[in-house]
Amino acid sequence: MIKKVLISACLLISFVSFAQQGTASPYSFFGIGDVRFKGTLENRSMAGVAVEQDTIHLNLENPASYASLIQTTFTVGGTFATSNLKTSSQSEKAQRTTFDYLALGIPMGKFGASFGLIPVSSVGYKILNDNTATEGATSSQLDGKGGVNKVYFGLGYKITRHWNIGADAQYNFGKITTTSLESITGVQNSTAEVNTSEISGMAFSFGTMYQRKIYKKMSIFSSLSYSFASNLSSDNTRVISVQGDPDPYAYPANSTNLKLPNKLSIGLGVGEARKWLVGANMTFQGDGQLANYYNSADNVSYENYSKFALGGYYLPNYNSFTSYMSRITYRAGIKYEKIGLIVNNESIKDVGMTLGAGIPIPGSFSNVNFGIEFGKRGTVSSNLVQENYVNFSLSFSFNDKWFVKSKFQ
């Protein structure tokens, strides 16, 4: 079943991942946009807690987890996002439907491998400064779209029954286009500036996971992953035109070297495997060098990213034959993030809560996952924008046995 679904999904998502506009946040103007990927829906529904060596779900936050898979696992997810953007004087609503990830995990004895396609960041904003009522005043409109994606390949290895290690190699690529329109009230012709950046670069990460029983059925779970700082090459073009002028001016192409910062994630949890889990996760990331020539600003600076999350799940009875509801996994979590951006001397924060459920597909280990995330990012203080958001997510996790020889009696 996975093979049929995989081919169809790849054909569809290979188009959608490039065509979509994955955010409506004005904060995506800075750097390479909003960070999109925050784990599979199973982990996102626990606010990002991903500490258990899951045997039937992919954990894309730590490559060491691949070695724990017992069946070939294909997962794909998407989100319908709604947000209310408001300042101290006005508000606007926005909606987006996005593809979140596509990945395949394959068990190979003590090894496990995974590869897939993941949108890393998204740029998507439209900012209007309307001063047309004032003679001689300048009005402007800023539009941005695009983002950065990655394809990855990872390998995990089970050193002992309790201890896994793993590593990922990623190729980042994408295109960001920004358009600036300016007009002066009373002046007939307006000007337009279009900036395009083609982004590419390699990145690497490694991880380790350890879990062990500490009392009867209770176990302790731990996870550590580290992403190395890496370079992104941005090939830039700029075109400026005046309305009515048939010959726009194109600046010579130039290249900017951006730097993705290193990232450390540490998780710890306690629980009973396939029954319940309570865990915490801490993530720290450097400030990097992500400002390009077209989105630098005097009132903007970057700081270290940090995230603190608490979450878990409860599964009443995973092998119940009499109650389907007992085989549903219930998930929840809370999070606090500093997204690494300072605007008008305000550190931009993201605080949210997540809920989710994993619905088993009868006769298999496969399941359908639902999740909801709601929270607040930013503030109306210091002439900034506050985003109150609600995200509805859906994912499918299909399991199958590959590389098994048929036996005939």
Pairwise pLDDT comparison (247 vs 330), residue with the higher score: 330
> pLDDT of 111-136, one tens digit each?
999 999 999 999 988 888 877 778 87
| Domain residue ranges in the chain | 2-400
The answer to whether the beta carbons of residues 276 and 270 sit under 8 Å apart is no
| Phi and psi at residue 319, to the nearest 5° | -115, 30
pLDDT of residue 110: 96
> pLDDT of 278-312, one tens digit each?
999 999 999 888 888 777 778 888 899 999 999 99
pLDDT band at 403 (very low <50, low <70, confident <90, very high): low
Cα–chain-centroid distance for residue 4? 26
pLDDT of residue 112: 97
Structure tokens at 266: 């540490």
pLDDT of 408 over the 50 cut: no
Is the entire prediction scored with pTM above 0.75?
A: yes
pLDDT of residue 243: 79
pLDDT of residue 344: 92
| Phi and psi at residue 33, to the nearest 5° | 100, -175
Pairwise pLDDT comparison (37 vs 79), residue with the higher score: 79
Structure tokens at 202: 């390699």
> pLDDT of 79-94, one tens digit each?
999 999 998 888 889 8
Cα–chain-centroid distance for residue 225? 16
pLDDT of residue 150: 96
pLDDT of 174 over the 50 cut: yes
pLDDT of residue 114: 97
2-400 maps to which CATH number? 2.40.160.60
pLDDT of 7 over the 60 cut: no
pLDDT of residue 406: 47
Structure tokens at 59: 């954990």
Residue 210 identity = Y
Rounded mean pLDDT of the chain? 89
pLDDT of 8 over the 50 cut: no
Percent with pLDDT over 70 in the chain:
93
Q: Average pLDDT, stretch 333-351?
A: 95
> pLDDT of 378-401, one tens digit each?
999 988 999 999 999 999 999 987
